[in-house]
């Protein structure tokens, strides 16, 4: 079932609304959110919409790995907006047997790992978009969650 390969994956685990508003990298292999937000339910205590972990996160990552002919020793780079989000997603993968999980946090730092995951060598630029191309297009695989 698991094929041997030394390729790597870059997965955007940010919330869907973050990808919608901020865009994503062209070098991301898939967007599979770790946290799902219920915009129909407001938490007065937290002063925010309720959120929960994506119950299908591991299933979607497994499907992507199998689809690409990779295995659980593949380098998986997770692109997250916070350390908490990234570490929680990495922990799920680690417990499931993924051996090489890296977390990149913050929009400015995703270039190195995600470029390495895609095999693209992008030139450096000045300013906020240094060394990577952000896009709002959904031409890559998009993950989902089970309600």
Separation of alpha carbons 142 and 68, rounded Å: 15
Q: Is beta strand 24-25 parallel, antiparallel or unpaired with respect to 134-135?
A: antiparallel
pLDDT, residue 100, reads 92
Q: Is the pLDDT of residue 3 over 60?
A: no
CATH number of the CATH domain containing 91: 3.40.250.10
Nearest alpha carbon to residue 51 among 90, 25, 16: 16
User: Which whole number is the average pLDDT over 104-114?
Assistant: 58
Nearest alpha carbon to residue 102 among 68, 65, 132, 75: 75
> Which residue segment(s) compose the domain that 23 sits in?
8-124
- What is the number of structural domains in the chain? 1
pLDDT, residue 62, reads 96
- Percent of the chain past pLDDT 90, that is, above it, reads 32
Would residue 119 count as lying in a domain?
yes
User: Which whole number is the average pLDDT over 82-100?
Assistant: 92
pLDDT, residue 38, reads 64
């Amino acid at each position: 079932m698991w094929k041997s390969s030394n390729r790597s994956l870059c997965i955007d685990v940010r919330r869907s609304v973050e990808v919608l508003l901020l865009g994503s990298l062209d070098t991301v292999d898939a967007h599979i959110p770790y946290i799902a937000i219920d915009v129909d339910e407001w938490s007065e205590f937290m002063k925010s919409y309720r959120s929960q972990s994506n119950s299908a996160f591991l299933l979607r990552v497994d499907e992507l790995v199998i689809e690409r002919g990779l295995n659980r020793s593949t380098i998986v780079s997770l692109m997250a907006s916070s350390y908490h989000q990234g570490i929680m997603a990495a922990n799920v993968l680690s417990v499931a047997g993924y051996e090489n999980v890296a977390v990149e946090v913050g929009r400015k730092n995703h270039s190195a790992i995600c470029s390495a995951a895609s095999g693209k060598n992008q030139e450096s630029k000045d300013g906020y978009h240094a060394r990577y191309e952000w896009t709002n297009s959904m031409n890559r695989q998009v993950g989902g969650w089970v309600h």
